[in-house]
Amino acid sequence: MKKTTLIIILVSVSVFLYFVILFPLTLRSLRPKIGVVKIQGGIYSSEKYVNWIKKLKENSQVKGILLVVNSPGGGVVASDEIYNALMDFKKTGRPLVAYFGSIAASGGYYVGCAADVIVSNPNTITGSIGVIAEFPVVKNLLKKIGVDFIVIKSRDKKDLGSPWREMTREEKKIIKSLIDETYKNFLKIVSESRNIPMDSLYKIADGRIFSGRQALKYGLVDTLGTIDTAIEILKQKAKIKGKPVLVEPRKRFSLLSLITGEETKISDIKLDYRMVLP
């Protein structure tokens, strides 16, 4: 009798746990999923983003990607690698919708161009279509404190960009050629993705920033709204009925990010070469 009672209790507890814990999880696993890719802060490394996008691509339950951009831009290579990973995802035929938050400028806008539809907050800071390279020169400061450098190099261009001396005219031309090449590619991506004629785009692609409202006027975004607007558009494109599950990568706790925060400043806006030059 006691044994029978114990079995009944164990079965009852198992059934209870199933319906309280496992059954909701089972239902959740059956619901359609939307992969969320959040581009947050400066873009100087692409690895975590590219790896996550690849996982979403390989998961057939993921019906589309919601790209959330809160970035002032960053490195040329990192921005391009994320953009290419998103374009690779789109080859599966699944939709990609972007939402521009507080700021989606320069490299942030570059990445956003992979989207089928761009939804922007009316007050978003976006645009800044251009490329920049910065090289500080501290030779006068060092001279004041009596510090000098002896440089031994294999050829005359090896220390191009050195902060210990001024650039020559020829060296500036070399850097400018790199900037121009990347800028042309940036313009090509924007022109093709946004269906803006190159001559019209060139008039506004001088590095200036736009509000979301202004960006809509120039065709740089498709519509104004909130992140919920972007989700609804993505649901329609992916033919999702009901409430989808938003899938995000697991967050790792970082004491450094907790202390420093990830606030983005207007002064951070750029697509630069600093990360690829020695």
Give residue 81's domain range. Answer: 35-133+168-252+262-272
For residues 265 and 145, give the distance between their C-alpha atoms in angstroms, rounded to a whole number: 33
In a domain, 178, yes or no: yes
Tell me: pLDDT of 157 over 70.
yes
pLDDT in tens, 216-243: 999 999 999 999 999 999 999 999 998 9
Reply yes or no on whether the pLDDT at 277 is more than 50: no
Joined together, the tokens standing for residue 153 give 């190099």
Catalytic, 158? Answer: yes
The verdict on residue 2 lying in a domain is no
106 is catalytic: yes
Q: Does residue 22 sit within a domain?
A: no
- Out of 106, 120, 128, 191, the active site residue is 106
Q: Is residue 147 classed exposed, middle or buried when 0-12, 13-18 and 19+ CB atoms within 10 A define those classes?
A: exposed
Q: Which of 55, 158, 184, 217 is catalytic?
A: 158
Residues 254-260 have a mean pLDDT of 54
Asked whether the predicted pLDDT for residue 100 surpasses 80, the reply is yes
For 104-139, write each residue's pLDDT tens digit. 999 999 999 999 999 999 999 999 999 998 888 888
CATH of the domain at 181: 3.90.226.10
Distance CA 115, CA 3 (A): 62
Average pLDDT of the residues in 140-161: 87
Q: Distance between CA 47 and CA 52 in Å, rounded?
A: 9
φ, ψ for residue 272, nearest 5 deg: -125, 170
Contact 131, 76 (CB under 8 A): yes
Q: Could you tell me if residue 185 is inside a domain?
A: yes
Asked whether residue 53 is assigned to any structural domain, the reply reads yes
Let me know if residue 103 belongs to a domain: yes
Q: Could you tell me which residue, 193 or 14, shows the higher pLDDT?
A: 193
Whether residue 4 lies inside any domain: the answer is no
Number of domains in the chain: 1
